Structure 1
């Protein structure tokens, strides 16, 4: 199974057209999940209208729209798992689910919440998960290999359903200085650092599966 991320604000004036194009692209590459953020809580009705308008396209293409919790900012529609689960239940379609981003839970809450604490209230609505980690320092957050940062993946992995599709996400070129919104560095990341970080992350996920007997999770 394949998943593709193509984020947009679902409450924007051209959101229906923009999301429809993304569905077409996802279908063209054979993806089963299309991941995007939702938008601000104050625009809840607009977000719902966009989803309702595009839902027939999702059903026809048999693609699940996976709505992701944000990693920065405030006032988002999906600021907690309980609000996510309620929104998904209202729609009542298997083509609308949650993409639970473990690292985003940690940073959006300013380190107050670990992903295992958050996902419990919405586990039935989660169709996909993103795994990323950050080192917490005085200077801010630095993205790193899984298991090398401050996100507690031991408890999180134990809670995830064994058949859930997960993706490793390592945005090494992004910075979160002073825990502010992310910024993209001007210089690219060295290819050897990328390879080393990915290898360490894959090894960590493999070890989690071995230790917790959850080896049927797929890390891509």
Structure 2
């Protein structure tokens, strides 16, 4: 619990660390609910919530993502922040903190942290292309052991919109650098793919896939959700 409390203290302090009146401050909220299907767990419920804060040179968001089946669950809480690197407009530094539970991969609670450098390869009104490089650290059995694993992380994302359709593709590869435990590699590939049909400016329908690919068998989760987004008038 002390780590969770520390997480929210750090989040609030970072949110309050600069002058929003001079940085084009914007807040936005996102929510989704619907169904999810996995070949190993059949039908379930899908839920998602997100709060995003942006300024001219900084970005921060907090997300909750969950897939709930009769006997399994995938749950992820993620906080990510980034800021422009020096005076380079298309380069940024970032850090990410994740708490994750995935019973289909026998993960009771994984604590994960990564940081590094990101490059904005393309930026336009219709979308962005980014790539990120860095290091990552996690504990894949946070409740029962202090064993930590170190990784090299490479990731990328593509967002593109042609009204009323928008697509998103994200990929992350974690290559284990630390010594293997029980001859089992924790290197993994994580994939997210989404397509959204915008019904109105605030409401839409999203179909997509998440897939954690690592040693042993794993199945993708396919979801269909209704989405809602709306700006917030917060000033901090």
What TM-score do you get using the length of structure 2 for normalisation?
0.25
Which protein is richer in helix relative to its size? 1
Q: Which of 1 and 2 has greater Rg? A: 2
Which protein is richer in strand relative to its size? 2
What TM-score do you get using the length of structure 1 for normalisation?
0.26
